[in-house]
Amino acid sequence: MVALKSHQRVNHFPGSGFLTNKVNLAVSGLPHIPRAFRMPAEKSELLAYAKDNPKMMFVQKSNNHRGIKIEKLDALDLGADGSFVQEFVHNPLLVDGYKFDIGVYTIITSIQPLRVYIFEGDVLFRFCPVKYHPFDPEVRDKYVVGDAYLPTWKVPSLASYYTKFGFGMKGSFDAWLRAQDKNPNLVWDSVRSAIRSVFYDKETALIQASSHYPSSKNFFEMMRFDFVIDDKLEVHLMEANMSPNLSSAHFKQNRLLYEQVVYNLLSLVGVGRAVHPSSLATHSADEDEMQAAIKDIVVFADHCSVNCKNGDGACNNVECQLCLPCLSDDQKANFLQAYLEHRRRGGCRRVVPQSIHADEAHQAASMDRLTPENTLMTEWFRGMCLSDQTFCS
C-alpha cells in the first residue's frame, strides 16, 4: 500500500473506521444522532439522563450490531466494555403502520480537500415485517429491521407507485409523503446535513490516517448511511456501514439499485471511463487535457484580471488565491480532479462542499469552520457555479 503508483486506486480510505465504528459514531454528540452513552465509562451520565427522562426507552448496542432489543435500564449490562446505550427513537414515521429505515449510499473521493457525494438515483428502503402498533418491546420485528425485512413493493401505499407507475423506492416514498401534504425535501436536506457533519467531524482523523501513505489520491470509498425518520420528519442517523451488502440474492428487485450504485461509483472515481485505454496506467497528456484542461477550471475571470494582476504579490491576498498565477500544481490537480468527478457524477450529487443556490453564488458563504483547503475548494465550486449552474450542487 505504501508503494502504490499514481494510477492505482484502492476502494478503501485509511481511517474510514472512524466513521463506521458504531460506538465512536453514536457517542460523537453530532446533530441527528440519538443521544448515546459509552459503557461503562459514561454509566453515571446515562443514569442521570434516564432519571431526567423517565419515559425514554433505550437499546444497548455494540460493534457487532446483533441482538438489539429494548430493555428496561436495570436489565441492561452497563458494565459491558465496548458497548453503548442509546435512546430509542420512539415516534418513527410509519407507512401503513410499518416502521422503516433508509440507506443512503455515500462516496468519499478526497480528504484534503474534502469531497463527498451521495447517490441520489435511489435509496434503500427497508420496512419492519410487523406493524409498529400496538407497540410491544418483546416483538423485535416491530422495530428492528432484519435480513427478512418487508420490501417497498410489499407496502400497500407504496406498491402502486413502485409497481404500476415505475418509480424507485425513493420516488415512491416521496410521492406518498407529498400525498400526506408533507415535503420530502425536508427529509433529504436533513440527510445531507447529517452526512456532511459526520465527515467534517472525522476529517482530521482521516487526514492523519492517510498521512502514512505517499498520497491520499489513490483512495476512495463507498459506504451506506442508515437513518430512521420520525413522525416530525426529523432524521436520525443510526450507523454508517463499511462495505454494505450489494447482493440481490434475497430480493431480486434490488439488483437495479445495487448495479446503479456500483456503475455510478466507478464512473465518479474514474475507474469506469468514456475514454478506454488498455489500463488506468496508459494514458497520454493529450487524453488528460481533452477531458479536463486548465481553461475548464479557472474561475472569477473579472475579479482576477482586475484585482489580481500584480504578479506574485497579489497571491498574498486571500481573494486572489484561486486565480491561475497563484495556484500550485497540487491545487490545479485537485481542481482538475473535482471537475472530472463533476462531469462523471451520473446520479451522484455533492454533499461536501455544500451545494450553492445559484442566486446566492455572487457572495461567498460563511466558511469560518472550514480548513484552508476546504475553503478554497468551496470557493472554487462557487466560481464554477457562476459560469455553469450544474456546479452549484
Q: Are residues 70 and 109 in the same domain?
A: no
Cα(132)–Cα(140) distance, rounded to whole angstroms?
A: 10
Domain total for the chain? Answer: 3
Q: Are residues 154 and 234 in the same domain?
A: yes
Q: Are residues 260 and 117 in the same domain?
A: yes
Q: Are residues 105 and 192 in the same domain?
A: yes
Give the mean model confidence (pLDDT) for residues 210-232: 96
**Dihedrals phi, psi of 370, to nearest 5 degrees:** -90, 150
**Average pLDDT over the chain, rounded to an integer:** 94
pLDDT score, position 279: 66
Do residues 48 and 256 lie in contact, with contact meaning Cβ atoms separated by under 8 Å? Answer: no
Cα(393)–Cα(386) distance, rounded to whole angstroms?
A: 12
Residue span of the structural domain in which 317 resides: 285-343+353-392
Residue 9: inside a domain:
no
Cα(111)–Cα(207) distance, rounded to whole angstroms?
A: 7
Residue 155: inside a domain:
yes
Q: Are residues 249 and 385 in the same domain?
A: no
pLDDT score, position 365: 76
Split at pLDDT 50, 70, 90, the class of 276 is: low
- The model's pLDDT over 97-120, given as tens digits with 9 standing for 90+, comes to 999 999 999 999 999 999 999 999
Give the mean model confidence (pLDDT) for residues 211-225: 96
Q: Are residues 128 and 154 in the same domain?
A: yes
Look at the chain and count its residues.
Answer: 393
Q: Are residues 200 and 221 in the same domain?
A: yes
pLDDT score, position 284: 80
Give the mean model confidence (pLDDT) for residues 228-233: 98
CB neighbourhood size of 216 (10 A): 18
pTM: 0.94
- The model's pLDDT over 342-386, given as tens digits with 9 standing for 90+, comes to 999 999 999 999 999 999 999 887 777 899 999 999 999 999 999
Split at pLDDT 50, 70, 90, the class of 287 is: confident
Residue 28: inside a domain:
no
pLDDT score, position 319: 82
Cα(116)–Cα(233) distance, rounded to whole angstroms?
A: 24
Q: Where are the alpha helices (DSSP H) in 3-82?
A: 17-20, 22-26, 43-52
**Which of 206, 233, 268 represents a domain boundary (last residue)?**
268
pLDDT score, position 227: 99
pLDDT score, position 390: 97
Q: Are residues 166 and 223 in the same domain?
A: yes
Residue position matching grid coordinates 424507485? 168
Please determine, for residue 278, whether its predicted confidence score (pLDDT) is greater than 90. no
Residue 7: inside a domain:
no
pLDDT score, position 65: 59
Q: Are residues 212 and 118 in the same domain?
A: yes
Do residues 102 and 226 lie in contact, with contact meaning Cβ atoms separated by under 8 Å? Answer: yes
Q: Are residues 318 and 381 in the same domain?
A: yes
pLDDT score, position 245: 94
